[in-house]
Amino acid sequence: MLCCNKLLAADRPNIVWLLSEDNSKHFLKLFDEHGAETPNIADMARHGLRFEHAFSNAPVCSVARTTLMTGCYAPRIGSQFHRKSQVVPLPGDLKMFPAYLRAAGYYTTNNQKKDYNAEESADVWDESSRSASWRNRKEDQPFFHMQSFAQSHESSLHFDRQRMESGTQTSTQSVFIPPHHPDTPLFRFTYAHYLDRIGVIDRQIGNVLRQLEGDGVLEDTIVFYFGDHGGVLPGSKGYVNERGLHVPLVIRVPEKWQDLVGRTNGQAATGFVSFVDFGPTVLNLAGVDVPDEMDGRPFLGPNTSADEVDSRNEAFGHADRFDEKYDLVRSIRLGRWKYVRNYQPFNFDGLQNNYRYNCLAFQEWRTLYQQHRLDTIQRQFFETKPVEALYDLASDPYETQNLANSVEHTDTLLRLRSRLQQQLKAWPDLSFIPESELVEDGFANPTEFGAKNQQRIAKLIDIADLSLLPFDEAQAAILQAIESDDALQRYWALIAATSHGDAAAGLVSVVRKTSKEDSNRLVRTRAAEFLALVAGDDPSDVLKSVLSESESGVETLLILNSLVLLKDGATQCNIPFSSQWVTEAAKKQQEVQRRIEYLSP
């Protein structure tokens, strides 16, 4: 049973969330020396708190916003795919957190973006629209208001060459180009243009603060400003690096509510907070009990202490499907250390995503790679990834030097690897079940499905982690899994084998048999993928066969991801693809259409 604590309605703070879309902390001078001046947001920090370590758990909007609304890790509740193939129900009786505020007497409004992957009950918002505001509440009624600003969205970088002629307010010569990007006029313009957009965001934040002040409620209101996830320069949005996950967070705290935060205004909070924590924090500030089904923990309000919050030093990240592009990457940040686990390392980061490549800088980056005009760091985006990576962010903030093979850092590597494995099994992580199977069997009740399949998922994670061993140590277990009665054990065994690359060439004869005879289309796809990448076999017949058999748009999308990988990756397979390979039923999937558009001559 949820209830208010001892705070009376008249004694509860108003709470406002102001979200800028698609920007990491790197673009505000308040957080990074290379960022834009944001005087309004900086003024909020002087009258409140700046959080130095705030993280989205996912580097894309629908997954991140669902996490904000639910307080749950997306891979646990089945909301991890962008864009959703199916809206999923929430665990048990859980609702999105504003519903609990409404039940406690708050007026809740959203202006206006939702973009959720989970079911929204009818009692979440009093109003959600372009005109939604706190102004329509009852007299003296406390309110929660959420407002999004799209001027920093990824689409703001989808300009044409003609736009570049009009220049930017920010000097293109003054911008900092991080080591992963080429230093070209186009990239300089793109950075400068985006810094200009951050200036627009700051002015809009200032406008809302003045509206609150004009309405006489600013000093009764705790105001959060944060990015809705990282981004959006190429290689950030959609990726679990710091540029995709590390967001700016500033919270303005009126003197009236200082006792709720336990800090002095103007301080920097150093503890780690993640999007799973934001909803529980609002409930706690409002005096509402946090539901047990939520994963996050409050970092402000009653029963929290500044010292305890500042001792928190752990954050998890996850990346799955983004539009038509599949991958499976997990990360953990523990203090200065960042561990990244690439479960399908052959899925290089620069794999085609039609929407991403609307950006001219994305296009130029790939062209320069194809022309062999990038340095070693800049090339990494288009090449096979390491199975695991370890970064020391204190000395390497842009994650360019992988320390995973450093003997000096073995203990740190094993500690973070083990902690991540423990967390994925505990959720359990539903992404180890292919999305097409979740659509068929799991999305009706994802958390119940996860509980029933927890041991199975743990086994699949163990099979996937065979790629962490030297191949001679992993070979017997991979072969055993390839011969399993469980199709998903065979599926992950083939992915682990492919991750070993040329070292796994001894499996070719076994996998050739699997590619022809296995009853599962995705297993045959992964077998064909292995044979093309490791043995140079032509995958066309297998891929044509499995596509022509599949009536599932999601399954077809998984198969087409492998086809694009083989076409554009290091193997450069000459696959004579025809849209006639794809069934009419599968073509109804929008993302399938995007792949067909890209693959068709």
Distance CA 37, CA 56 (A): 23
For residue range 526-555, what is the model confidence (pLDDT) as tens digits?
999 999 999 999 999 999 999 999 999 999
At 9 the pLDDT is 47
At 601 the pLDDT is 82
At 11 the pLDDT is 85
Separation in Å, CA 306 to CA 51, 295, 382, 446: 12, 20, 43, 35
**CATH code assigned to 428-599:** 1.25.10
Distance CA 27, CA 25 (A): 6
3-state secondary structure of 3: coil
Residue 61 is a catalytic residue: yes
Confidence check: pLDDT of 282 > 80: yes
For residue range 324-379, what is the model confidence (pLDDT) as tens digits?
999 999 999 999 999 999 999 999 999 999 999 999 999 999 999 999 999 999 99
Separation in Å, CA 428 to CA 78, 177, 420: 10, 39, 12
Read off the DSSP letter of residue 204: H
Distance CA 163, CA 501 (A): 44
Contact by Cβ (8 Å): 97, 71: yes
3-state secondary structure of 250: strand
Give span(s): CATH 1.25.10, the chain: 428-599
Q: Domain 13-302 is in which class?
A: alpha beta
For residue range 123-142, what is the model confidence (pLDDT) as tens digits?
999 999 999 999 999 999 99
Q: Is 299 left (phi over 0), alpha (psi -120 to 50) or beta?
A: alpha
Confidence check: pLDDT of 586 > 80: yes
Give span(s): CATH 3.40.720.10, the chain: 13-302
DSSP string, 554-597: HHHHHHHHHHHHHHHSTT-------GGGS-TTGGGSHHHHHHHH
Distance CA 574, CA 66 (A): 40
For residue range 336-349, what is the model confidence (pLDDT) as tens digits?
999 999 999 999 99
Confidence check: pLDDT of 1 > 80: no
Confidence check: pLDDT of 2 > 80: no
Q: Looking at 61, 72, 359, 573, which residue is catalytic?
A: 61
Contact by Cβ (8 Å): 209, 40: yes
Distance CA 535, CA 251 (A): 55
For residue range 461-518, what is the model confidence (pLDDT) as tens digits?
999 999 999 999 999 999 999 999 999 999 999 999 999 999 999 999 999 999 999 9
**DSSP-derived pairing of the beta strands 221-227 and 246-252:** antiparallel
Q: What is the dihedral of CA 417, 420, 426, 430, to 10 degrees?
A: -110
For residue range 221-266, what is the model confidence (pLDDT) as tens digits?
999 999 999 988 999 999 999 999 999 999 999 999 999 999 999 9
Separation in Å, CA 63 to CA 49, 70, 87, 393: 26, 11, 12, 25
Alpha helices (H) along 343-486: 360-370, 376-379, 410-426, 435-437, 446-452, 454-464, 471-482
DSSP string, 291-344: PTT-----SSSTT--HHHHHT--EEEEEE--BTTB---EEEEEETTEEEEEESS
At 10 the pLDDT is 58
Distance CA 498, CA 468 (A): 12
Distance CA 105, CA 4 (A): 10
Closest CA to 101 of 147, 68, 144: 144
For residue range 90-109, what is the model confidence (pLDDT) as tens digits?
999 999 999 999 999 999 99
**DSSP-derived pairing of the beta strands 314-319 and 329-334:** antiparallel
At 36 the pLDDT is 98
Please provide the average confidence, as pLDDT, over all residues in the chain.
Answer: 97
Q: Is 572 left (phi over 0), alpha (psi -120 to 50) or beta?
A: left
**What percent of the chain has pLDDT above 70?**
98
Residue 133, classified by CB atoms within 10 Å of its CB into exposed (0-12), middle (13-18) or buried (19+), is middle
For residue range 435-471, what is the model confidence (pLDDT) as tens digits?
999 999 999 999 999 999 999 999 999 999 999 999 9
| Tally of CA atoms within 13 A in the half-sphere of 124 that contains its CB | 17
